[in-house]
Structure 1
Amino acid sequence: MTEELMANDFKAWVDQADMPKGKKKVIMAGLKLFSEKGFEGTSTQEIATESGMSQATIFKYFKTKDDLLKFIITPIMENIVPLYVVEFKNELENKKANLEDLIKFVVHNRYQFLVDNKEVALIVLSELLTKEEIKSQFVKMMTSRGPSIVDTFQKLMDQTGEVRPGLTPIEIMRLVVSQILIYFIQNYKIFPGRKETDVEKDLQVIETMIINAIRKPTN
């Protein structure tokens, strides 16, 4: 598993990985169904039907449904997300000290990351609160990678000179992340099929709302 390929696309990695075709079909079926119906809402029979494999074949490659979920989640949490965090941090560092441009970049960049990895993102978001192993992996990743993002974000916020006094970088990031996640879930779980032009307008509204909430008064 090369980091470069994994960072580009988990599905591309599965397609090119050295493993039996049947196993690939099971993985892709699990990815699709877990993201659409949730882990608990997906049966092994449904995975078998979606993949075109028998349940016996599924259990040949994965002893349990949990093992299949772990196979999907672990490389994402340990390889893809950390690489994206580093890339995001590097891009942040090159941004100009302008509040409007900075918030626009963060909103668009993080939303696009969720869209590019929507199946896994939906699985993680749905299982994060119920599965301790996934929660532990997520906390571990955020503990090791999060502080560098916060430090970079704080420096940029300070450089703009536009942020309302009393707001911490954590509070601002919490506001930004919550808005992006809610909108992502809305588009892919509640009201799917939103047009690209409408999404762009919606993101602009989110950006304006965040900027108005954190920008210090001009008078």
Structure 2
Amino acid sequence: MNKNNILDNYRDWLGHHKMPAGKKKTLAAAIELFSQQGYNGTSTTQIAEKAGISQATIFKYFKTKSDLLAEIMQPMIPELKKAFLPQLKKHIQLEDTVHFIVQDRFKFLAQNADLIKILLQECLVNAQLRQMLLANIKAVIVADFEEYWQLLRQNNPQIANLSALELVRINAGLLFAYFTQRFILNIPTQSEADDLSLIEKQILSLLTLK
């Protein structure tokens, strides 16, 4: 199983999670169809047919298709951090850390481009989904990343006086800008490796400003 793929991770999580059979069938069918034909291209009728259940069963557990997407995403940040954070904590030198974050997280974004685009679009109009994602991200930073950030600063005195949240914003901002170029605007690149190397240099420059 590819640990960088949300849908594969979710199927694994779903297989071990206890919930009513109808709800589990709905979620399994939805992630398969969303990955194949997109969120907007998938109807609850298609999900019901794929799951072998009635639409009434779907609406028993989810008021809207948007609620269904929110349910799919709800456990994913806590699950994915189990793979990402242990690897991140192996890096205690700033350049190594930035290299790992840029390479690993862009690979994650690229492998899940279709679902990430769906999430970005839905977050613009779905306040519930937006708040849920923000709450999960904040929980990761507060609960797990803050301790690592302090260790990194102790080992790298050249780092500017930034908070963990500011570090995340710097990394995420540049990576999402590049993701938008590549996968939303569909602007081609001559060398992805060169592009990511430049992003690493830009991040390092921002992190060491005094």
Unmatched tracts of structure 2, length 5 or more: none
Structure 2 counterpart of 1:212: 205
Equivalent residue of 1:191, what SS? Answer: coil
Q: Does 1:83 align with 2:79?
A: yes
1:142 deviates by 2.3
TM-score (norm 1): 0.69
Kept after mapping to 1: 8 A contact 2:102/2:175: yes
Structure 1 portions without partners, runs of 5+: none
Rate the CA distance shift 1:199–1:10 in 2: closer, same or farther, 3 A.
same
1:1-219 to structure 2, matched below 5 A, reads 9-10=8-9, 27-31=31-35, 32-34=37-39, 39=40, 42=41, 44=43, 59=55, 62-63=58-59, 67-78=64-75, 80-96=76-92, 98-147=93-142, 148-164=144-160, 166-191=161-186, 194=188, 198-216=191-209
Letter of the 1:86 counterpart: K
The separation in 1 between residues aligned to 2:74 and 2:116, in whole angstroms, is 10
Aligned to 2:85, what secondary structure does the other structure show?
Answer: helix
Per-residue deviation, 1:156: 0.8
Change (3 A) 1:173 1:27: closer
Give the letter aligned to residue 213 of structure 1.
L
C-alpha distance after superposition, 1:15-38 (max 9, x if no partner): 98987999866653334322xxxx
Q: CA deviation at 1:88?
A: 2.0
Task: Find the residue that maps to 2:125 and give its secondary structure.
Answer: coil
Write the letter of the residue equivalent to 1:33. Answer: G
| Separation of aligned partners in 2, 1:179 and 1:211 | 12
When residues 202 and 125 of structure 1 are mapped into structure 2, their CA distance, relative to the original with a 3 A threshold, is same
**What is the Cα-based RMSD across aligned positions, in Å?**
3.9
Summarize deviations over 1:148-194 as a string: whole Å, max 9, x none: 21331232133112213x333322221111111111122111116x4
More displaced 10-residue stretch of structure 1: 63-72 or 125-134 = 63-72
Q: Is the 8 A contact 1:107 1:203 kept in 2?
A: yes
Deviation sequence 1:9-64 (CA, Å, 0-9, x none): 15755998987999866653334322xxxx5xx5749x85xx8x69xx88456449
Q: Deviations over 1:93-133 (max 9, x none)?
A: 2113x221111111112112222332322222221232122
**What is the distance in 1 between the residues matched to 2:150 and 2:94?**
12
SS where residue 9 of structure 1 aligns? helix
Mapped partners of 1:200, 1:58: distance in 2:
48
Offset from partner CA, 1:57-77 (integer Å, 9 cap, x none): 884564499633433442332
Q: TM-score, normalised by structure 2?
A: 0.71
SS of 1:161's equivalent in the other structure is coil
Asked if the contact 1:62/1:68 (under 8 Å) is kept, the reply is no
Q: Using the alignment, how far apart are the partners of 1:61 and 1:23 within structure 2?
A: 12
